[in-house]
A and B are shown apart, each in its own frame.
Chain A
Amino acid sequence: MQTPWTDQKIQERMRLKVGLAEMLKGGVIMDVTNAEQAKIAEEAGAVAVMALERIPADIRRDGGIARMSQPAMIKQIQDTVSIPVMAKCRIGHFAEAQILEALGVDFIDESEVLTPADEKNHVDKWAFKVPFVCGCRDLGEALRRIGEGAAMIRTKGEAGSGNIVEAVRHMRQVQEGIRRLTVLREDELMHEAKELGAPYHIVLEVAKTGKLPVPNFAAGGVATPADASLMMQLGAETVFVGSGIFKSKDPKPRAEAIVQAVTFYQDPVKLLEISMHLGEPMSGLDIATMPEDQKMAGRGW
């Protein structure tokens, strides 16, 4: 029997999926809720847009069940911009994912920002032609998602909070986990795989290469050019900005500034110049005082 790792066709397809993630590196992916915002994002230099009905800050405020966006609304955004269009499905909701694939979205985010549809299982992403990105809080979670066929990993952060602390925690956890694998003896890796709850063969690969086999992006709480630079310096290869742009006072210059901050993340003088004269960022939420049931990062298994 063929497994996804020995099936040549599936691996060739994976090359295309990871390939698109590679093309997005050094860029900013922006959440947009309509065609007009999508246009602003494209003009500001976004490498892709995430089409969703409500940005995380509003999902948080409104409560209720958050589902896949209306296909007609996603279609309108696809017709407006020429950059890749991403959309979210609920964790484990493979039927939503099938509909998004039929719609021709370029990337699916199996996202904790929406209400999970399955309390144990994530989508079998090998079964799809369209690439998937999944969130993680640590290395074990990242490697489980890669084992399911994710072509891109991102931190979960705490979406819609405007607070970078969770994204930093998750990125550091992943990086620390990777560094640990590279110094363990080979005969210790099976036990480590057990502790991580991660597929052994991917643990072996990461131990050898010292990096994830797919691109590693940052998401959840990015609100300023400095936040974007921080995540890039911690090892992110691209940044997702959700509520941070269209919840700020003046979205366009902020979008442009964050795009530049990702390219020049190692250049403080340039970052200073970029950060000058920006309006008010979105107001933020304190994670420490946030009730447990309102945290999105805990969703996903």
Chain B
Amino acid sequence: MTGVAVIDSSGSVQRTSPTNWLAMIPPKIFWSGLFLGLVALMALLGPWVGPDPNMIDPDIPTIAPGAAEHWFGTDDLGRDLFSRVAVGARISLLIGIATALVAVVIGTLYGIVSAQFEGRVDTVMMRVIDVIYSLPGLMIVILFSVFLGRGVLSLVLALALFSWPDTARIIRGQVLALKREEFVEAVHSLGGSSWRIAGRHFLPNLVGLIILTATITVPRAILTESTLSFIGLGVEPPLSSWGTLASEGWQLVRIAPHVMLAPALMIFTAMIALNLLGDGLRELLEPKKS
């Protein structure tokens, strides 16, 4: 400690280590970010590092994990599980991130518009959200994804359709609070219109919250997608996500449980990391509550 800590003239302790900025990141965000970075790296490079995920080798069915050639073992057709989980990560992460993007764009616009109008329009817009909240979510996602045709894009749209109300509510609350700030009054008295204020002054103030809501949406979308794929209503072959891999593994659970456990473990750890990341960001944005 004494090596890096310096007491300046005012008596407060200052650390002068060159890695200062790293130490400023809250541990929750640091560790979850690091883990998610590794998962992303695995999704990007895994299929090239490991064996070909589609190579069928009947001589090596259901090898247990830990083998030198096959870290996660192999499935019933002798395909390498590490590579398959890495390929599955692509679809799972893609669906999670794309859903969050779509949901956050819709939710932010909806929230700002609702808060801008206040009064009757606002009441009606919030009622619509109440109605959406009172629906059995997964059921409607299933109906929509079947209606739109099975595929990654329609899954994303169906999931986003159910994810945006959270963002809308949070953004609306924040905009209502911002509208009562003094600087808004100042811009108003200088002749700025409300929509100009929304675009030029509210949006920059909302960036933190928008990132936070996006972070909360990603794990929910991944969870819902994996549940759907598990019961056979999600991603279809030849594409595979962690959910479809777990579903295939479930068929083999009596002979080779690791085929299910490998994708299951990935879903679980990624969910923990994403939830921690959201938690850390929330504490960073709302210092009073922590």
A binds B: no
A binding-site residues for B, Cβ under 8 Å: none
B binding-site residues for A, Cβ under 8 Å: none
